[in-house]
Structure 1
Amino acid sequence: MRPLDPVRSIKAKLGVLVAVTVAVAAVLPLAGSRLGLDPLLTVPVTVAGALLLTQLLARGMTSPLREMTAAARTMATGDYSHRVTASSRDEVGELARAFNTMAADLEAVDRQRRDLVANVSHELRTPVTALRALLENLADGVVDPDPEQLRTALDQTERLSHLVSDLLDLSRVDAGLRALDAQPMEVRPFLEDAVREAALTGRPMHFAVAVEPSDLVVRADRARLHQLVANLLDNAARHSPAGGTVHVRAHSSEAGIVLEVSDEGPGIDPAERTAVFERFTTGTGAGQLDGGTGLGLAIARWVTDLHGGSIEVADTTTGCRIRACLPEHLPEGAPT
C-alpha cells in the first residue's frame, strides 16, 4: 500500500505522516476516555496504533529505496533486468525513474558488448578458417602456390584488414573522439578519387559520378568524409549485381550539401531502414559471405553526426539509395 504516492514532495509526505500520527495519538485517548477505559490500557493502545499507522505510511514511502537496493545488488552480479516501481511523484519517485533509465542503459550496453564479442568472433572466424585451410593445403602440397590461390589468401587478408579498420573506427566512436580538420574542398575531384579507389577492389562494377554544380565546394574533414563515401561505395558495390552501376551524386540544397550513393541491388526493406545504421546490422539480403561486417553504415552515420549532418535510406523504385546531408557550416563547438 502506497497511499501517499500522489503527494509531490517528500517534505509534504513527512508532514502528513507527522500530522496523522499526532491526530491518532490525540483521538484514541479521547475516545478511550469517553468509553470509560482505563488510561493504563488506553496509552499502550494509542502508542501501538500510532506506530502501526506510521509503519504503514512510511513503508510505502521507502519501498522504492528498498527495491533500488535489491536491484543494485542483482546488477552487481550482471543482471540488469530488474526495474523499480516508480509510481510516486516526489523526489524518491524521480530517483526511481532515473534508476530505471540507468538500468535500461546498462542493460543495452551489456547486450551490445556481448553482441560485439559474438559478432567479431564470427567475422574473424570465417577468414581465419579459410586462410588456415589454404595454408595447410599449400604446406602439405595438396595445391600449388599459383596466382589464384595467392589471390584467395590476399582476399581473406584484406577482409581481416577491413574488419580491423572498422573496429578501430568503432573504438574512436565509443571514445567520443570528435576532432575535425575541416577545410574547403572541391566535391567532384574528391568523389572521383574515392571512386577510383573503390574500383581497385576488382569487382565487376561501373561507377558514375554526377556533381551539380560542377564546381561544388564543401567544408569538411577530408579523411572523415572519405570514410563516409568509401563505406557507402563498398556497401553499394557489394549488393549490386555483377556489371551493375553505382551512381554517386552530389548537389547543393537548402539543407546544405547532399551526397547520394545508389545501387541496383535488392534494396532495403522500409522496416529496416533505420536499423541498418546500427552496428553489425546488415539487413535482409545482405549476407555475411560477401565480406560485409555490418559496421560500415554505423561509421557513416558517425561521420555525418560529427559534421552536424544526417544520413538516411531514401525512397527509390529500384535498388538502394543512401542520402547524406552535410550542413554548409560546421556545428558550434566542433574543433577545426
Structure 2
Amino acid sequence: MRIQNKLFAIFFLTSAVLVVAQVLVMQWSIGKGMVDYVNARELKALNGVATSLAEIYQKEGSWKQITGKHQRFKNIIDQGLADSEFSHPQAARPPHQVRGPRPEMGQERPRIDTQRGTDKGPPPRRGGPPIFEVSYALLDADKGFLVGMYSPKLSFSFVDILDEGKVIGFLAVSKRDQLTSGYELNFVEQQQRYILLIALGLVLVAVLIAMPLAAHFVKPIKGLTSAMSKLTSGDFQQRIDLKRKDEFAHLSRDFNELAATLQQNEQARKRWLADISHELRTPVAVLKGELEAMLDGVRPLSIERIQSINEEVKQLEQLLDDLHELTRNDLGTLHYRKESLNLPSLLHEEVNHYQTLLTENGFKVRFSELPSELFVFADSKRLRQLFGNLFINTAKYANDGNMLKISVNELQQSQQVEIRFEDNGCGVDEADLDKLFEHLYRAENSRNRETGGSGLGLSICQKIVEAHHGKISAFTSNLGGLGILIVLPLE
C-alpha cells in the first residue's frame, strides 16, 4: 500500500471516528437533555397536586383519609394535570404499558404492596393502585409509602408538600428515561436527522481535506526518492531544494550534504587514481628508458647506469610502501603497540639519528623549552616514523634554510603536549598549508624527483597522530619558513 493511500486512510478514518463519536454524544446529550427537561416540567406541573394534597392533610392533620385510597389519589392527580401536557385519560392504561420488565408468557404481573411499596405476589382480582405510564406515589415526611405506586426499582423525583413551611410529605413521580410522544420527541428526532446530515457533510469535508493533505506530505518523499535513485546510479550532482520548515527540510539538507560528500569523494578518488598513475609511471618510464638505451647500445652497461636504475627502483619501492601503509591505516589493519614513552628523550634520539642528513643539507637543530621528562602513551616505532618524516621533509623542501627549531610545551589544563617544528626555509604559501596533508600533494607542481618524494610523507604523519588521538596542522613559522604543530595527549 502506497504511503499516500496510508496517510489518506489515517486522516479519513480518524476524522470519521471523531465525527461518529461526536454524533453519538450529541444524540445522547440532546435526548437526555430533553428527557430531563420534560421531567422538570412535570415536577412544575405537579405543584398544584402538592397543594391539593396539603389541603387534605390540613383538614385532619394527618394522611389517614387518603392512605390506601388509590382511586382518590388518581383523581387528584388527574385533576391537577388536566390542563397540562401531562394529563392522563380517565381509563386506566392496559397492563402492557406499565413501566418495568414485561412478565414472561403465562406469568402474572407482580403487584405493589400498598403499605410498603414492594413486589409481593400476584395482583388482587379487584382494587389496588391504578396503572399509569408514569408512577405516582404519596409519601409521608419520613418518605414512608402511603398510596399510589412506589417501586424501589424505579428512579423517582420528589415534590415537597408543605404546611406552613414545614414538610409534611412528598409527592413522588417516576423519572422518564425516554420520550414516547409529544412535540419534544418530534424535536429530538428532527435534531437527530440534522446531526446525521451534518455528520455526512463533515465526512465529505474530511475526504476533501485528507486527499490534498496526504499528497502534500508525500510530495517531498517522491522528490527524495527520485533524487536518491539518480544518486545511486552515480549522478552525484543531485540536489533537493524544499521550501519548508519541517523535518523534510532537515532531511533534504542531509541529502544535499550526502550528495556533496559523495561528489567530493568521487573527485578525490579520480584524482587519487590519476596521481597514483603518474607517480608509478615516472619511475617505470625512467627504468624502461635506461634499460632500452643499454640494450640498444646507446649507453654502455656500467656501474653508474645500474646505480641510477637502482635509485629509481628504491623510489618506486618507497612509493609502494607508503601506499601500502596508508591503505592499512584506512582499513584499520595497522596495529599500534603503545607504551609509556619519555617524549624529550625520544626526540633527542631521532635528532641524533638524522643529524647527518640535516647537516649535509645545511641545517642546524636547536631545542627550545625542552623538559627533561614528559611521558606519553604511544607507539615508539610510529613516533620515530613521524619525526623522521618531518626531518626528511625539512632537509628536502626547506630550501635556503639553515635552522630547525624544536620546542615542546606542556598544556597542564588540557593534559596535552605541543610539539613544534619550525624552519627558516622558503616556506609554503598560506593557500597551500591546509593541502599539505592530502595524499600525493606537493607544493612544487613540477614533481621533481630529485627534491620531491612520493607526496605521502605528511599524509602518513597525519594518520599516525590521529591514531594517537592527537592533531597535526601546518602554519607559517616565526622564522619565516614552515611550521608543523603536533598536539598529543599526555599519559
1:161 aligns with 2:292: no
Partners of 1:209 and 1:247 within 8 A in 2:
yes
Partners of 2:290 and 2:309 within 8 A in 1:
yes
Cα–Cα, structure 1 residues 72 and 250, in superposed 2: closer, same or farther, change >3 Å?
same
Distance 1:146 1:188 in 2: 47
Match of 1:220?
A: 378
Cα–Cα, structure 1 residues 103 and 122, in superposed 2: closer, same or farther, change >3 Å?
same
Partners of 1:265 and 1:320 within 8 A in 2:
yes
Match of 1:40?
A: none
Partner AA of 2:477 in structure 1: T
RCO (CA 8 Å, sep 6+): is it higher in 1 or 2?
1
Alignment partner of 1:273: what SS? helix
Of residues 287, 298, 304 in structure 1, which corresponds to 2:459? 298
Distance 2:456 2:409 in 1: 28
Alignment partner of 1:324: what SS? strand
Distance 2:359 2:294 in 1: 25
Give the TM-score of the pair, scaled to structure 2.
0.52
Sequence identity of aligned pairs in percent?
A: 29
Distance 1:154 1:292 in 2: 16
1:39-118 superposed matches below 5 A? 56-118=212-274
Match of 1:135?
A: 291
Alignment partner of 1:225: what SS? helix
Match of 1:204?
A: 361
Distance 1:241 1:313 in 2: 17
CA RMSD of aligned residues (A): 3.6
Distance 2:381 2:276 in 1: 25
Partners of 1:237 and 1:246 within 8 A in 2:
no
Partners of 1:239 and 1:263 within 8 A in 2:
no
Match of 1:288?
A: 447
Partners of 1:250 and 1:257 within 8 A in 2:
no
Match of 1:334?
A: none
Partner AA of 1:279 in structure 2: H
Give the TM-score of the pair, scaled to structure 1.
0.73
Q: CA deviation at 1:269?
A: 1.7
Cα–Cα, structure 1 residues 130 and 281, in superposed 2: closer, same or farther, change >3 Å?
same
Q: CA deviation at 1:197?
A: 5.1
Query: Which segment drifts farther, 124-133 or 212-221?
Result: 212-221
Decide which structure has greater helix share: 1
Cα–Cα, structure 1 residues 220 and 57, in superposed 2: closer, same or farther, change >3 Å?
same
1:167-189, Cα deviation, whole Å (9 max, x unpaired):
12221232135743222334455
Query: Which segment drifts farther, 113-122 or 315-324?
Result: 315-324
Partners of 2:357 and 2:395 within 8 A in 1:
no
1:252-310, Cα deviation, whole Å (9 max, x unpaired):
32163333333343212223322222223323x46411333332222212221221222
> Runs of 5+ in structure 2 lacking a partner?
1-6, 20-199
Match of 2:90?
A: none
Match of 2:488?
A: 326
Match of 1:272?
A: 432
